[in-house]
Amino acid sequence: MLPFVVFFCYHIMITTCPWASRFKKLLFAALISMPLLSCTATIHGELFEGGSGEVDLILTIENQAQDFIRRFRNISGVSAETAILEGPAMSRLLGALPGIAMADLRNPHPAFLGGFIGISHVGDILRGQERDLFSYTEGAAPGSSSLVLVLDRETVPAFLSQVSPEAEGYLSLLMAPVLLGESLNKDEYLALLAMVYGQALTNEIASSVIQAQIAFPRPIQSIQGGRAQGNLADFEIPLLDLLVMEEALRYELSW
């Protein structure tokens, strides 16, 4: 009953508020956008010649997000000991995607997700959708190899639907514009969250940042959306940017 009430109140606000009309390793930022909850997330990855790669992922769901999820899961009779994002189930879904060689994600604690993802070819991940997630080219000369990752309102929902229906459901309850298609800016979304769920959860989401470091085969020649030193690229992605997606997030490197 509570989710229905939340969605009913949400749609009332969307139609009456004056402002409402208005994702060793980040080439794989989409792999972390699968949780898209209030979290602490760290990715270390490495991309090899030929387009294969490795990702180590550590993600912890923060306290306010844990409480938020438990409230809704209790309605359905789900045990508090059940993982918020089930690693084995997510591993099976990831392992079935083109471009993914294997995935081994586990939950030593219900609010923790961690493990390893092996990439057979980054350019094949989510290929064939309306918009490709990654674009990969390779050359022998410095600067002739490149990787482009685009996170937008097409690629993020497409990826989530294939690897984590749980996260997709949580994001719907959080009224995330990236999934629901509402044209809210970040301030408007935070005001809506605070109105429905309170300031504590809102503040936690506003301060959450996803961090990633990726090693590339050669020294990086150019970078968009991050910082480079030698063959290492570092990225910080505010969770709020992913949830609202006012504009597409583009990450591009050459080496």
pLDDT tens, 24-42?
333 333 343 334 445 578 8
Helices (H), the chain: 2-16, 63-75, 87-95, 155-163, 165-173, 177-180, 186-197, 199-207, 239-244
How high is the pLDDT of residue 190?
Answer: 96
How high is the pLDDT of residue 9?
Answer: 37
Q: For the chain, what are the domain ranges?
A: 23-254
**Averaged pLDDT, 105-121:** 92
Percent of the chain beyond pLDDT 90? 46
Only one residue has tokens 């094949």, namely 124
- pTM of the entire predicted model: 0.77
Residue among 222, 45, 213, 215 at smallest CA distance from 145:
222
pLDDT(216) > 60:
yes
Under the banding of pLDDT at 50, 70 and 90, the label for residue 19 is very low
How high is the pLDDT of residue 174?
Answer: 86
- The CA distance from 30 to 33, in Å, is 5
